A and B are shown apart, each in its own frame.
Chain A
């Protein structure tokens, strides 16, 4: 039981990391970036590539993956969202063009790596197991949880307490007013996508590190649960995404233990609907990056 709880927390921290990147873009820019799962998948492959070809150690790997993700995010916004600005159907069109961007990214990964799963080098990360009162925990899991917490708290701090965060909140509330005050809204938009995609790629790389490999369906495996996390947490809420990620991670792990792994999705999504019925705006619907 405790062991499953712990496993759920570790999985949940990756869900949360995936979800905060997605919810950040929505909270600040009111855009739904459906390329996020593809960015997540690409993060895993970039991690494997850098570890195998360049032999980057773990401490350098994560920043490098984040940097690649940041660049991808800027590019994504430039090609899939910015050209649509001002159109009547800009929101719907953005959904479609981000799906397209994600499709291109996945196709490119397939062209490069084929359909076979790619693996991290054996013994890439010390496979050490710790025991805490009967619960077995790998070093990788601890690193994942720690990194996820640091990144999520770091993001929350950035949004609440830095000039960049202040500008982001201003854009979230009223882009026109922010512009008039001298905020470079184009830069804030690029920056938001860079952060979001950096978090997404790191989440992907961490998942791949935990399971040792990645294939092109990695993003699809987290997509639905990740979006459920976002809705349960309250779209646009950073704290909500963090809490909901952990809750769904644990719920999934417990389902696998007490029922069967085929029930995994069912319980997670039943939870989604239960929360939506009880709290239609999500767990943290009131505490948002942007007020509704």
Chain B
């Protein structure tokens, strides 16, 4: 068994007295796609916050390639290839599309036009590169957020609710992009409210309930699991 690329061990996150995440552990193998699903406020984003470094966990550990990175600052994790696409996209609206991309390209600053690859992957951004990012539609902004993360050539991408607030057509596009990312060999951790779509693209799924892991297993099994179906998937 090769050792996992990303390991979360007994993670605890609290905000003041409120425990957002309690004793969560899971592993993500290199090239894998792991989905975290659960209701609003179940702690999914807090897990990603701790993994990306935005949130300092109360206890527990995050390991990248076996190395403990729990206390490493965000910008160094990005340099190590661990990149978050935050919830709500967090596009820098006053900067142009190209500037947003270049900001993501810190690690590749010696290359002349690091954006070129991204424009190939996301043609819609190419057409809009000189516009302020605030001029993009919601779906386009999500594409920009993902492109901005991918331009750093990450090893692991953490996607926080990438389909939130998008039209069904854009949701399809986002999931197509997720599969493309995966096909490039990039490891993905996907947090989604759209549990069915997430489990369909994932290899492994974890269900969070009030901050703790309730169910874990191969995504295909979770899709059939009676309790998961009842609580999160419903009748199609």
**Contact across chains for A174 and B74 when beta carbons are under 8 A apart:** no
Nearest chain A CB to B56 CB, angstrom units: 11
With A163-B109, A176-B86 known to touch, is A183 a contact of B103 (CB < 8 Å)? Answer: yes
Check if A169 is an interface residue, CB within 8 A of chain B: yes
**Contact across chains for B83 and A170 when beta carbons are under 8 A apart:** no
With A166-B99, A173-B92 known to touch, is A180 a contact of B106 (CB < 8 Å)? Answer: no
**Contact across chains for B86 and A166 when beta carbons are under 8 A apart:** no
**Interface membership of chain A positions 174-207, coded 1 if the CB is closer than 8 angstroms to chain B and 0 otherwise:** 1011111111111000000000000000000000
Inside 8 A of B197's CB, which chain A residues have their CB?
Answer: none
**Contact across chains for B103 and A170 when beta carbons are under 8 A apart:** yes
Nearest chain B CB to A187 CB, angstrom units: 8
Check if B69 is an interface residue, CB within 8 A of chain A: no
Q: Which of B84, B103, B109 contacts A178 (CB 8 A)?
A: B103
Inside 8 A of A186's CB, which chain B residues have their CB?
Answer: 73
Closest-by-CB residue of B relative to A172 is B94
Cα–Cα, bound, A186→B93 (Å): 22
Q: How many residues of B contact A (CB 8 A)?
A: 26
Inside 8 A of B94's CB, which chain A residues have their CB?
Answer: 169, 173, 290-291
Inside 8 A of B99's CB, which chain A residues have their CB?
Answer: 166, 169
Closest-by-CB residue of A relative to B80 is A182
**Contact across chains for B52 and A180 when beta carbons are under 8 A apart:** yes
Residues in B95-133 with C-beta less than 8 Å from chain A: 95, 99, 102-104, 106-107, 109
With A167-B103, A174-B90 known to touch, is A181 a contact of B78 (CB < 8 Å)? Answer: yes
Which of B73, B90, B91 is most buried by chain A, counting CB atoms within 10 A of its CB? B90
**Contact across chains for A180 and B109 when beta carbons are under 8 A apart:** no
**Contact across chains for A182 and B106 when beta carbons are under 8 A apart:** yes
Cα–Cα, bound, A177→B79 (Å): 15
Nearest chain A CB to B143 CB, angstrom units: 16
Cα–Cα, bound, A210→B94 (Å): 40
Check if B54 is an interface residue, CB within 8 A of chain A: yes
Cα–Cα, bound, A228→B81 (Å): 47
**Contact across chains for B92 and A180 when beta carbons are under 8 A apart:** no
**Contact across chains for A177 and B75 when beta carbons are under 8 A apart:** no
Cα–Cα, bound, A173→B95 (Å): 9
Cα–Cα, bound, A176→B103 (Å): 13
Cα–Cα, bound, A176→B54 (Å): 8
Which of A176, A179, A184, A290 is most buried by chain B, counting CB atoms within 10 A of its CB? A179
Check if B148 is an interface residue, CB within 8 A of chain A: yes
Check if B178 is an interface residue, CB within 8 A of chain A: no
Inside 8 A of A167's CB, which chain B residues have their CB?
Answer: 103
Check if B35 is an interface residue, CB within 8 A of chain A: no
Check if B223 is an interface residue, CB within 8 A of chain A: no
**Contact across chains for A182 and B79 when beta carbons are under 8 A apart:** yes
Inside 8 A of A180's CB, which chain B residues have their CB?
Answer: 52, 54, 74, 78, 83-86, 90
**Contact across chains for A182 and B90 when beta carbons are under 8 A apart:** no
Inside 8 A of B109's CB, which chain A residues have their CB?
Answer: 163
**Contact across chains for B103 and A181 when beta carbons are under 8 A apart:** yes
**Interface membership of chain A positions 141-170, coded 1 if the CB is closer than 8 angstroms to chain B and 0 otherwise:** 000000000000000000000010011011
**Contact across chains for B95 and A169 when beta carbons are under 8 A apart:** yes
**Contact across chains for A184 and B75 when beta carbons are under 8 A apart:** yes
Nearest chain B CB to A203 CB, angstrom units: 28
**Contact across chains for B104 and A182 when beta carbons are under 8 A apart:** yes
Nearest chain A CB to B107 CB, angstrom units: 7
With A173-B92, A176-B86 known to touch, is A166 a contact of B74 (CB < 8 Å)? Answer: no
With A163-B109, A177-B91 known to touch, is A182 a contact of B86 (CB < 8 Å)? Answer: no
Given contacts A166-B99, A180-B90, A183-B103, 17 further A-B contacts (CB under 8 A): A167-B103, A169-B95, A173-B95, A174-B92, A176-B90, A179-B75, A180-B83, A181-B78, A181-B104, A181-B148, A182-B74, A182-B75, A182-B78, A182-B83, A182-B103, A183-B106, A291-B93
Residues of A bordering B, CB below 8 Å: 163, 166-167, 169-170, 173-174, 176-186, 290-291
Residues of B bordering A, CB below 8 Å: 52, 54, 73-75, 78-79, 83-86, 90-95, 99, 102-104, 106-107, 109, 148, 152
Nearest first, the 8 A-B pairs at minimum CB distance are A182-B78, A177-B90, A184-B75, A182-B106, A179-B74, A291-B94, A181-B103, A182-B75
